[in-house]
Amino acid sequence: MKLTILGDSSCIPDAGHEAACFVINGKHLVDTGWCAALKMRQYGFDPLNLESIILTHFHQDHYVGLPQLLFYIGLKKRQGPPLLIIGPNQHLERVVRAAVDFLQIDRFPELAVNYRLVPLAAGDRFELPGLRCETFAARHVSGKNQLEQALVYKMTDEASGARLAFTGDTHHHPPIADFVQGVPLLIHDGGHTQPKEAADIAKRAGVGRLVLIHYQQKRGSAILAKARAVFPSTELAQEGVCLEVPPAR
């Protein structure tokens, strides 16, 4: 499996950066950032090749780029099976409907995208072409101490056995370690979870590599130093970088 970082920054991205999002095998977009369609094209990916959009939760910086992405896909007349839009079940339909309404599809039906919603609750499993996917509850608190429905995802390539996992936004949640046990690559929130706590989860899980995402670039060096003191195989997500996950032995 190959995972390419499209955005590494926090909810209001630093200048020249994009909010946290990435693409798996060029076909599965995880969160949309502010402008993932443009970032995909910048790094050589065609949004028309997307088979799924996977949303970790529904805070705005993780879906605000959805209308732009649907506009591009609709305008370019994507062909093939329905685009899967996957995410936590509590707000998935509402957010996608709002994006469609924003594009005024009733006035411009030629922009309509053939999509299918895949609403999920923690613990649900689903399949994408060639990938087995599992979910687990993150622990993300925001606003007036509201607990947000947010998911951790784990994916296994059916052909090679390669595995990776990613959290989206989460505060420190030790049970994640059991869910991601032994994965070669873990993408973990580096903004809401303290770096030493994210590193401790990676250490207890015995992962191969920990990549911290969704961080402020000015704090990057300090975040990395604190995490590496606990788990040396830590790195920071960097836009445009491709992370390869080796086949299972």
pLDDT tens digits for range 124-166: 999 999 999 999 999 998 777 889 999 999 999 999 999 999 9
What is the predicted pLDDT for the residue at 171?
Answer: 95
pLDDT at 146: 86
The pair of three-digit structure tokens given for residue 6, joined into one six-digit string: 């499209």
Instruction: Report how far residue 16's alpha carbon sits from residue 7's, in angstroms, rounded to the nearest whole number.
Output: 10
Q: Do the strands 151-157 and 146-148 form a parallel or antiparallel pair, or are they unpaired?
A: unpaired
- Ranges of residues in the chain whose predicted pLDDT is under 50: none
What's the CATH fold of domain 2-244? Metallo-beta-lactamase; Chain A (3.60.15)
**DSSP assignment string, 220-237:** HHHHHHHHHTT-SSEEE-
> pLDDT value at position 197?
98
Containing H/E element for 136?
strand 131-137
pLDDT in tens, 165-177: 999 999 999 999 9
Kindly give the pairing relationship between strand 28-30 and strand 52-54: parallel
